[in-house]
Structure 1
C-alpha cells in the first residue's frame, strides 16, 4: 500500500518540519520590508519535530516580537500557519501563508504612515 504524507510534513518520527523555499521567499520578502522600515532587525529559524518557527526580533538579544509557525498536523483543522505575538496571542491562523502574514503587513503600513 502506498502511503500519502502531508506536503513538507514529517514522514517519520525522526524527521523535522521545515519551511519550503517558496514559503521562505514569502516570509523573507515581508522581513526585508520590515527591516527597511526599521521595525525588525534580526530573525531566527527553528526546525523541530512538530513545528517550524520563523522568529523576528527588534534587537538580537531579546524575545521575538512575532513567531511565524508552520504546524502540518493542523493543516486539516484551523490551518498549518500561524502568527503569534510576543505575549503568546495568536494574531492570525490559516491555510494560506500569504493570507496569514497580512496581519503583519498592516503593521508595516502603520509604521510607514507614522
Structure 2
C-alpha cells in the first residue's frame, strides 16, 4: 500500500461511502424521519468527495450534507457535517463521532 492509502497509488475515479459508513448515516437519517424532521435524501459520488444530503422536503436546498473527502483524511479528517448555510458543524476522522452532532438536534426536534 502506498502513502496515500490506495493499493496502486492512484485514487479511485469516484469517492463513495462504504457499507458500514452508509449504515451509520442511514441510522441517523431513520431517527430523524421517525421524528418527522427529515423526509428525503440524496447521495452524490464525485471525484473528490461523497455527499449524503438530507432534505426537509423534496425540491429544496439540503438541510445538512454529510461529506467524505479522503484528501482531508490526514489533516482535519475525511468526514464532515455541513449545515445549509455552509457552516461546518463537525469534522473528524471517525464518522460515528462526527454524526454525534445530530444527537442534540434530535433531542430538540423531539422536545420542540
Ranges in structure 1 where 5+ consecutive residues have no aligned partner: none
Structure 2 residue aligned with 1:58, among 56, 59, 65?
A: 56
Q: Which runs of 4+ in 1 moved over 3 A?
A: 2-5, 11-14
Q: How well do the aligned residues superpose, as a CA RMSD in angstroms? A: 1.6
In structure 1, the partner of 2:99 is 101
Report the CA distance shift for 1:71/1:55 in structure 2 as closer, same or farther (over 3 A).
same
Q: Does 1:3 align with 2:7?
A: no
Three-state SS of the structure 2 residue aligned to 1:105 is helix
Ranges in structure 2 where 5+ consecutive residues have no aligned partner: none
Q: Following the alignment from structure 2 to structure 1, what is the Cα–Cα distance between the partners of residues 12 and 2? A: 17
Equivalent runs, 1:1-114 vs 2, <5 Å = 3=2, 5-6=4-5, 12=10, 15-114=13-112
How many residue pairs are counted as aligned between the two chains? Answer: 110
CA shift digits 1:21-63 (9 cap, x unpaired): 0000000000000000001000000000000000000001100
